[in-house]
Amino acid sequence: DHVLCVPASELAERHGSKFANLIMVGALAAAVGEPNVGDVADAAVDLLGKKVPAAKVRAAVEEGYACLS
């Protein structure tokens, strides 16, 4: 067992305060090793793309993924 720390709140400030959860989703995918970041970002955009700009959703997921990959 090991613990991975992700500064999600700090990273979210770059994308807007509502994106900490998306950063964590990206980080989780990186930590687990699947699904790939593109699939995670696509799913997030499908879910939230009508509420917020798709590019910001995708960037937040990718930021979280990059944090642990």
Residues 6+ apart with CB under 8 A from 20: 8, 9, 11, 12
For residue 38, the model assigns a pLDDT of 96
Tokens of 47: 């879910």
For residue 50, the model assigns a pLDDT of 85
CA atoms within 13 A on the CB side of 67: 25
For residue 34, the model assigns a pLDDT of 93
For residue 2, the model assigns a pLDDT of 82
For residue 33, the model assigns a pLDDT of 93
> What are the per-10-residue average pLDDT scores of the chain (69 residues)?
88 82 95 95 92 90 92
For residue 60, the model assigns a pLDDT of 92
Give the torsion sign (CA, 21, 17, 45, 35): negative
Which amino acid is located at 7 in the chain? P
pTM: 0.88
Residues 6+ apart with CB under 8 A from 2: none
